[in-house]
A and B are shown apart, each in its own frame.
Chain A
Amino acid sequence: MKFSARLRELEIDPRLLGMLGALAVIWIGFDLLSAGAFLTPRNLWNLSVQTASIAVMACGMVLVIVSRNIDLSVGSLLGFTGMLIGVLQARLLPELLGLEHPATWLVAMLAAVAIGGTLGVLQGVLVAYLAIPSFIVTLGGLLIWRGAAWWVTQGQTVAPMDGRFRKLGGGIDGAIGATASWIIGAVACAAIASGLWLIRRRREKFGFHVRPVWAEALVISIACGVVLGAVAVANAYPLPMGIARRMAEAQGLAWPPGGLFIAHGLAVPVLVAIGIGIVMTIIATRTRFGRYVFSIGGNPEAAELSGVNTRRTLMLVFAVMGGLAGIAACISTARLNAATNAAGQLDELYVIAATVIGGTSLAGGSGTIAGAMLGALVMQSLQSGMVLLGVDAPLQNIVVGCVLVAAVWVDTIYRRGIR
């Protein structure tokens, strides 16, 4: 059997494969240029944390763009929501519940989702029911929410954040440690294997085509390999000596003369982003709502004539986007340990770029959550790598801009090829 035929048996989206290839080229290229500083546990761990906030929002942007809309307001939504929950947990909740109350982080996070979701609904109503183009509604939103963020504290930065809340931003507190990381990795592998097996069984029951067993096994082992590899990398990044020593002493452990290797493990914001990626993939591909979003993107008139409630669906798309911007606001506020007026500035452009690099067509109707998250990782890899190489900020923007345009060009050629 020829290689291409074997590849087809695997039933893997060739575009996803192309993205992974591009990512590999970027990673290896930066590693060579930086004399081995890029592919280190430390750099990859930080890269994953820096990607989280954009990746979370890119999940929502996929649905927005698939439905033939755009959301330019997500950066400002992040800023405004971050400011509100900053004030909530730094000023209001300490008075109501007491400082460092165990529920503070949860209240703040739920509030962020509720605020983001409500503002999203507001924009969604304008787009869906009043038929104002989403470009205009969210361009207005970009200005309005940024201005609103300033009004919350007259531009003052709010700090510090609640201790438990800060875990959402990663950092030393926001990593789950080696053992928990291996457990999560093992659970993920078990879920992948059993999930694919269940799908296979069901298809067999109806007598549909299934992958050959070797292909199924290869897919499962590659997926598990990636998961366990990521855990291994996160577990290879040790905590700084001073903090490791304090932790050891707190647990009454003797401090050996050579120091102690305590691993970071997976970062909380990364787990949040991956969890959201999984949920959003299920929503996009396995629910009626997701199907309706894609049908609207494919042919809005057909969707309407088929009895799809297109307006409600569009409104919900913006609501989901707003809610995710709220979660992203938690991640970036926690990471910075402060709510600032400038949080999320230009994020809308990075989110849209990540989504588009990830294979979502601006014409609507096609895109994947996994692609968008990979797109976010590609963008962040480029930026981190250039920072590592000491490339000036203006040149960084030029490179990212060029990559965005080139990626869409390649995708256009690919699409023409499959027509």
Chain B
Amino acid sequence: MQARTPLVAMENISIAFGGIKAVDDVSVDLHPGEVVGLLGHNGAGKSTLIKILSGAYRADAGEIRVNGEVAHIASPRDARRYGIETIFQTLALADNIDAAGNIFLGRELVTRWGTLDDVAMEAAARQVMARLNPHFRRFKEPVRALSGGQRQSVAIARAIHFNAKILIMDEPTAALGPAETQQVAELILQLKKEGVGIFLISHDIHDVFDLADRISVMKNGAMVGSARVADISKDEALGMIILGKCPAAGTPGPGAMA
């Protein structure tokens, strides 16, 4: 599996904000149908790294390859063209617009006169939401009026509706109750079966350990290392996160403790 060309490879990525290296020479990759858990403490640089992939930030150095070819991602629009969809930790919803409007924001369906086709968008929104949250009925209300879990469903629906090849989920279950978390887990397994590559970002290994094929751990902006979940224990994974110690079964990165 590792010999094939990865779906995405981020190579030697660095970015600094005001002299502080938020991400320092980090490399990660992702294969089709694979779930890679990106772990680390709050502030380890996970979200920053992923925002580079989703086009929100531009890396100071390093290269992104999609299917082996160098990808130029300067804006979220570019990322979407490569089939990269992101569910941001902050959800990134426009509170004053309804669920369908948010799902299609930036990619609205239009009628043949060029006006918004709200009815068609609502119909599509109902379909995709039925997959995520079958009880969701509040299509007419601005998402401000929705609960945390419902907002999360909208954010996820927006990412999966457009047949993402690469899905980035930044703390996708942070706002969810147990039943909804279970739904997201099932969704991840289903998307994986469809060949979607998923980056699953979390500060909690329990969220990730059951779903991920591999984990990559970051600490203080640097890569501690990567390991197949089957090869290491939870304690070893915790050791990577807390101490920055890469176990023998993993591949150490530049940030690994000597």
Cβ–Cβ contact A365 & B115, under 8 A? no
Cβ–Cβ contact B93 & A299, under 8 A? yes
- Residues of the B chain whose Cβ atoms lie less than 8 Å from the Cβ of A304: 56, 76
User: Complex formed: what's the CA distance from A299 to B96 in Å?
Assistant: 8
Q: A299-B94, A305-B92 are in contact. Are A291 and B101 (CB under 8 A)?
A: yes
Size of interface on A: residues with Cβ below 8 Å to B: 29
Most A C-beta atoms less than 10 A away, residue of B86, B116, B120, B122: B116
Q: Which of B123-154 contact A (CB under 8 A)?
A: 123, 142, 144
Question: Residue of B at shortest CB range from A361?
Answer: B96
Cβ–Cβ contact A307 & B80, under 8 A? yes
Which stretch, A30-38, A138-146, A250-258, A280-288, touches the partner chain B? A280-288
Q: What is the size category of the interface that chain B forms with chain A?
A: 20 to 34
Question: Residue of B at shortest CB range from A366?
Answer: B96
Question: Residue of B at shortest CB range from A288?
Answer: B108
Tell me if B's interface is mostly helix, strand, loop or mixed.
loop
B96's partner among A285, A287, A365 (CB-CB below 8 A) is A365
Q: Which of A267-293 contact B (CB under 8 A)?
A: 282, 285-288, 291-292
- Residues of the B chain whose Cβ atoms lie less than 8 Å from the Cβ of A301: 90, 92
Cβ–Cβ contact B114 & A303, under 8 A? no
- Residues of the A chain whose Cβ atoms lie less than 8 Å from the Cβ of B106: 292, 303, 306-308
Cβ–Cβ contact A297 & B116, under 8 A? no
Q: Is B107 an interface residue (CB 8 A)?
A: yes
User: Complex formed: what's the CA distance from A416 to B108 in Å?
Assistant: 31
Q: A286-B115, A305-B56, A305-B88 are in contact. Are A294 and B96 (CB under 8 A)?
A: yes
Cβ–Cβ contact A287 & B94, under 8 A? no
- Residues of the B chain whose Cβ atoms lie less than 8 Å from the Cβ of A131: none
Question: Residue of B at shortest CB range from A364?
Answer: B96
- Residues of the A chain whose Cβ atoms lie less than 8 Å from the Cβ of B144: 419
Q: 15 interchain pairs (CB within 8 A)?
A: A208-B119, A208-B122, A286-B116, A291-B97, A291-B101, A291-B105, A294-B94, A302-B94, A305-B56, A307-B75, A307-B77, A309-B77, A365-B94, A365-B96, A366-B96
Task: Please list the 7 inter-chain residue pairs (A to B) with the smallest Cβ-Cβ separation, ordered nearest first.
Answer: A298-B94, A307-B106, A298-B96, A365-B96, A302-B92, A306-B106, A295-B94
Q: Which residues of A contact B (CB under 8 A)?
A: 202-203, 205-206, 208, 282, 285-288, 291-292, 294-295, 297-299, 301-309, 365-366, 419
